[in-house]
Structure 1
Amino acid sequence: MNKISKVVVVFIALLTFLALMIQSQEVKIAGLFIQFENETSEAEVKAILENYDIPVNYTIDYNSNIGRGMYYIEVDEDKIYELRKDENWTSVVEIKKGNYNIIMLSEEFVPDENVLAMLEKNNLQLKKAVVCYIHFGVGPADWVVGKNCILEKDA
C-alpha cells in the first residue's frame, strides 16, 4: 500500500470511531417513572436525583398522573404468600425490598370494597405515593421518538 492509501485508511478508521462514540452518547430511553413515599416534596426529589450521576439533561414531571402505582402497601415477606391466596388479590407490580415486598396498586383498585376489606383483614395500611416521571433529553416530553418516525404521545 502506498502512503496515500494508508492515510485514507487511517482517516476512515478515525471517522468510524468518532461516529460510534457520538452514537453511543445519544439518549436511548425517553424517560423513567420513580415512585416516592407520600409527602416527598419536589425539592427532595430534585435533591435525590442530583446525587446520581445522570449524564444527560432531564426534566421532572413531579406527581405525574400518567403512571401506574398511585398507591402501595408494604407486606412482610412471610405474609405475602398467604395474601396471594386471597380471592380479592389484585397485585400488578411487586418489588422485593429487604424482608418485605412493596405492592403497587393503581387508583382503580382503591375504592373497591373487596380490596379494602382484604387490607383490613390482613392488617395492611394503604399508602399514597408520589409518582414522578423523569424525561431524558432536550426534546419535548410529549413526543416519543422512534427510529423511523415521531409519534405523538396519547395519539
Structure 2
Amino acid sequence: MNKISKVVLVFIVILTIVILIKQSHEVKVAALFIQFENETTEPEVEAILENYDIPVNYTIDCNSNISRGKYYIKADEDKINELRKDENWTSVVELKKGNYNIIMLSAEFVPDENFLTVLEKNNLQLKKAVVCYIHFGNGSPDRVVGKNCVLEKDAIRIKNELEKNEKVLIVGLDYIQG
C-alpha cells in the first residue's frame, strides 16, 4: 500500500469514528405520546401515522395504562374569553387549532359540579382525549438511530407535522436518558 492509500485509509477510519461518537452524543427519542380527539379509533390512528414520514418501524399502544388521559374542551375564542371570566375556571394548556381552541386539562383533573355547571352554562362539552404511545423500533434495549429510535430533530419534525392534523390534539416526545 502506498503512502497516499494509507493516508486515505486513516482519514476514513478517523472520520468514521468521529461520526459514530457524534451520533452517540446526539439526543434520541424512543417514542411519541400523542393525544387524539375523543373517539378516535386505533385504525384511524394507524391511518394518520401512515401519512407521515416516520423513519423507523413502530408499534401503537392506545388507551393502555400509559396515563389516565386528559380531558379537553373544544371552543371558539369568544367562549374561551367567557370561561376565563368565571371564578371556577382553570385550564392547563390552551391550543389554537383551526377556527377553535382546545383547552387541555390535567390528567389529575376530576370534574366537579361547579366546573360542569360552567360548561353547561356555556353550552360546552367535556371530552376525554385518546392517548397513544408510539414505540419506535422493536423494543430492543440497544438504541440505534434508524432502527429503534430517531434523532430529536426528526422527532420534532414528525411532531410538528402531526400537530397540523385536525384529529391530533398534542404530541409529546419520550426522550432516551443518557
TM-score range (shorter-chain normalised) is: 0.7 to 0.9
What's the secondary structure of 1:120's corresponding residue?
A: helix
**Structure-1 separation of matches of 2:69 and 2:91:** 10
Instruction: Give the 3 Å change call, closer, same or farther, for CA 68–140 of structure 1 in structure 2.
Output: farther
Structure 2 match to 1:133: 133
Deviation at 1:117, TM superposition (A): 1.0
Contact 2:29 2:176 (8 Å CA) reproduced: no
Instruction: Give the 3 Å change call, closer, same or farther, for CA 122–58 of structure 1 in structure 2.
Output: same
Larger Rg: 1
Structure 1 match to 2:123: 123
**Structure-2 separation of matches of 1:103 and 1:64:** 23
Does residue 146 (structure 1) correspond to residue 177 (structure 2)? The answer is: yes
The 5 Å alignment of 1:1-150 reads 3=4, 6-16=7-17, 18-19=19-20, 23=23, 28-67=28-67, 69-106=69-106, 108-139=108-139, 145-147=176-178
CA RMSD of aligned residues (A): 3.0
What's the secondary structure of 2:129's corresponding residue?
A: strand
The amino acid that maps onto 1:35 is Q
TM-score under structure 2 length normalisation: 0.65
**Structure-2 separation of matches of 1:87 and 1:68:** 26
Deviation at 1:136, TM superposition (A): 2.1
Instruction: Give the 3 Å change call, closer, same or farther, for CA 67–93 of structure 1 in structure 2.
Output: farther
What's the secondary structure of 1:29's corresponding residue?
A: strand
Amino-acid identity (%): 72
Deviation at 1:140, TM superposition (A): 6.0
Structure 1: unaligned runs, 5 residues or longer: 148-155
Deviation at 1:116, TM superposition (A): 0.6
Structure 2: unaligned runs, 5 residues or longer: 142-174
**Structure-2 separation of matches of 1:19 and 1:114:** 57
Report which structure shows greater RCO (CA 8 Å, sep ≥6). Answer: 2
What's the secondary structure of 2:53's corresponding residue?
A: coil
**Structure-1 separation of matches of 2:85 and 2:140:** 44
Instruction: Give the 3 Å change call, closer, same or farther, for CA 67–136 of structure 1 in structure 2.
Output: same
Q: Deviations over 1:14-59 (max 9, x none)?
A: 42465268x28x8811322212222222111111111111002222
Contact 1:27 1:136 (8 Å CA) reproduced: no
Task: Please identify runs of 4+ aligned residues in structure 1 that moved more than 4 A.
Answer: none
TM-score under structure 1 length normalisation: 0.73
